[in-house]
Amino acid sequence: MRVVILGSGRGSNAEAILLARQAGRLGRAEVVQIFSDRPDAGILALGPRFGVPAAFLDAAPYKTKLDGAAEEHYIAAIMACRPDILVLAGFMRVIKPRFLEAFAGRIINLHPSLLPSFPGLDGIGQAWRRGVKISGCTVHYVTSEVDGGPIIDQSVVRIEPDDTLETFAEKIHAAEHALLPSVIARLSEHR
């Protein structure tokens, strides 16, 4: 199963996927390409480290969505990788219908809350400020509804009395790093 990863940030989840692959825990999946919409994103440094092609793809002039000529550019570049699945690992742009149609049913996203609670930006901070005692992370198929597609799997994180926003965020990230590779491995076995 050919996997293309898209991310905008430090890439800790992409790293977890690549480490799982190294350890033989990614089933029949292999990462064939990493793309980022930010030239300075940490996720791009994983390419040379793991021997996977990694490239910046400009999404200007938009800041929060993938649209217009940039969307076409993304579709062409990703199509050229012949992906079986596209993993959004901290890709912070809204995906539009043209892109969704190009990769229908093949895009999964990671979100740092138990959806449908706390969709959108800063799922960790939203849950923290709301004072919930249980949160977690979600992997779901991407549809036109932001953070609203069918849920594939979730992992639970409990907020303890001595947690701070920082320790809570660390727990969420640890849960993500376990969940996302395991979902990819499972999907690869069921193709």
Which candidate in 73, 111, 177, 190 is catalytic?
111
Query: CA-to-CA distance for 37 and 61, rounded, in angstroms?
Result: 11
Closest CB to ligand GAR among residues 12, 143: 12
Closest CB to ligand GAR among residues 43, 114: 43
Closest CB to ligand GAR among residues 115, 187: 115
Strands (E), 21-111: 30-36, 54-56, 65-66, 85-88, 94-95, 107-111
The footprint of ligand GAR (CB under 6 A) covers: 7, 9-14, 43, 89-90, 110-112, 123, 173, 176
Picking from 131, 106, 107, 104, the residue whose alpha carbon sits closest to that of residue 118 is 131
Neighbours of 172 (CB within 10 A): 22
Neighbours of 107 (CB within 10 A): 24
Least separation in angstroms between residue 187's CB and ligand GAR is 18
Question: Identity (one letter) of the amino acid at 190?
Answer: H
Closest CB to ligand GAR among residues 122, 189: 122
Long-range pairs for 99-104: beta carbons < 8 A, 24 or more residues apart: 99/66, 99/71, 99/74, 99/75, 100/142, 100/143, 100/144, 102/75, 102/78, 103/78
Least separation in angstroms between residue 28's CB and ligand GAR is 23
Least separation in angstroms between residue 34's CB and ligand GAR is 11
Least separation in angstroms between residue 116's CB and ligand GAR is 13
Nearest residue to ligand GAR on Cβ basis: 90
Contact 90, 13 (CB under 8 A): yes
Note if 173 is an active site residue. no
Closest CB to ligand GAR among residues 72, 146: 146
Least separation in angstroms between residue 170's CB and ligand GAR is 11
Any idea which residues carry the catalytic annotation?
111
